Structure 1
């Protein structure tokens, strides 16, 4: 009879070592000082959700009373995760409905007004649900304010490589903060970029001030994980380690991501072209092209989205978000007609 502890199929609590290594290198770059100086604690988690939840438990235990700032709007599960972790949160302004763009001034003001030492949850790339990301110059300013307030950046990176088509471009925001010497957290997911939804593969990374601190942080993350889920899954972790660790497979994967990101960009362009060609009102539809990733915030209100569904049979969330990953070039004209009708004929 094999006792539970003798089953060699179990991974260690921190996960597959080869997975953690390539995951850290993919996010920060193999030559990054945080890796070379061993200042990074990486623990394999249950995809992005589980990694965020592990971090939430870590914050609740070791930063009692600390608040997490969350963008308005954000991915629906963020609030659930921190509620379940008993971590208080509040929102910072992000989406500007007037411009269908970023409320950068509001965002900065709210981060400045937050209690010193708060955690600021940031979407590393392809903000969900809006598809609106800060520019490189805006990221610099966000880093300035977070540094001034002694806040702790907490990145959620769910689309690395899948947003722009470049792994490095999509990790630029995280690397910027790491280069400033800040301690920070990063939750990762391989659900989208490697299609491993069902395998629940991700990681939580904590950049620390020293290698000693990283060792202690990793130990405490393992301590939290042990009674929560004990061990992470192995098969998806091996897939990641094999794909990222093999030059031929890695290059093939990068080419496929670039193709997928390019297809979504092509759909964006086609939708924009149809909107501008059909709509004679003079409305500026350029926000469609400025957004990035799978999603687009159309600016449609609840009544207008209901018109999309009831009249045009276009099904979308009530906040006006559409998934461009599910849109084909052939359907862009139809979608354009539905959006224009809903915008101008429904208040």
Structure 2
């Protein structure tokens, strides 16, 4: 773009991280440690793949139905049926009655982006709140999706070295109605400090009272408590209370499928409505078609086959 003011510079911490990682790769110091990206490595610093994933990939290559065909805009149906159960529960009434549903995305990043664009483009949401501090890509993702106003709610107390819960609640109470609140489900990035169940109920009270929209980022399900069910508690609690909301899931961290870009965006409607579900899906199709046409197949096949096999699920 020209320097006429049409395009202003937005600092991108992600690009800074990539530059730092590239510099680390070129550094031949023997005792260096790359602490830029949170990924699995073995004892000599090489990428580590979970054993059951390697076995699954071997079986995929040998199977008769293995191919590289396109999938539909919203992904593989088996994936969309199985993955939301991880956050809502195997026998979730919200999934069974059609009030909630999931669509495959290009990892958790595009689940956030697609969900944000859905809210901004079709439902006229303009303001979003992120925790202070938060994952460095949250703000950029929502701004590029069409939101005009970025705000922060207090989260980390450097004196107490824990969650500033009083500040968090105060900021939510002062948030304008119809603000979108981005909440990290568990293993908060970058503080590592999570809310208690009692605190989650207080957050839900304020959000319901202030008419704020809930957007959960579930990037680390299973990595906080070591238990998928326990880590999903807040989503299930909000759903049971009748919240309309979005949830972004990814298998980059908890299954190590970073390069396969495998994620899911789940939608929870206020009321069970087949008509409204179809309307939302059409809007999501329009967004994904314009952004990346369709999500990746390979990672989704690994997730599907894992979740369909109790033994593989146990190994995971």
One fold, TM greater than 0.5?
A: yes
Q: Is 1:41–1:217's contact at 8 Å kept on the other side of the alignment? A: no
SS in 2 for 1:129: coil
Gapped regions of structure 1 (runs ≥ 5): 1-6, 254-347
Tell me the distance in 1 between the aligned counterparts of 2:314 and 2:273: 32
Partner secondary structure for residue 137 of structure 2: helix
Answer yes or no: is the 8 Å Cα contact 1:70–1:91 preserved in 2. Answer: yes
| Residues 30 and 72 of structure 1, relative CA distance in 2, 3 Å threshold | same
C-alpha offsets along residues 289-340 of structure 1, whole Å, 9 cap, x if unaligned? xxxxxxxxxxxxxxxxxxxxxxxxxxxxxxxxxxxxxxxxxxxxxxxxxxxx
How far did 1:65 drift?
4.5
Point out where structure 2 has 5 or more consecutive residues left out of the alignment: 1-66
Spell out the pairing of 1:99-118 with structure 2 (5 A cutoff): 99-118=160-179
Q: TM-score, normalized by length of structure 2?
A: 0.76
Question: Relative to total residues, which structure has the larger helix share, 1 or 2?
Answer: 1
Q: Deviations over 1:9-41 (max 9, x none)?
A: 110111011111110111101211210111123
User: CA offsets, 1:20-76, max 9 Å, x none?
Assistant: 111011110121121011112311111011111111211111232431111000000
Cα root mean square deviation, aligned: 1.3
* Alignment CA distance shift 1:168-1:98 (3 Å): same
Structure 1 residue 155 and structure 2 residue 155: aligned? no
SS for the counterpart of 2:220 is coil
Number of residues of Structure 1 aligned to a counterpart in Structure 2 = 247
Structure 1, residues 186-208: CA drift from partner, whole Å, max 9, x if none?
00010011110000000111100
4+ aligned runs moved over 4 Å, structure 1: none
Name which structure has the greater RCO, CA cutoff 8 Å, separation 6+: 2
- Asked whether the equivalents of residues 250 and 264 of structure 2 are also in contact (C-alpha less than 8 Å), the reply is yes
Alignment pair present for 1:231 and 2:294: yes
Larger CA Rg, structure 1 vs 2: 1
Q: State the SS of the aligned residue for 2:105.
A: strand
- Distance in 1 (CA, whole Å) between partners of 2:310 and 2:190 is 33
For residue 273 of structure 2, the aligned residue among 211, 216, 229 is 211
So what's the TM-score if we normalise by structure 1?
0.69
Corresponding position of 1:196 = 257
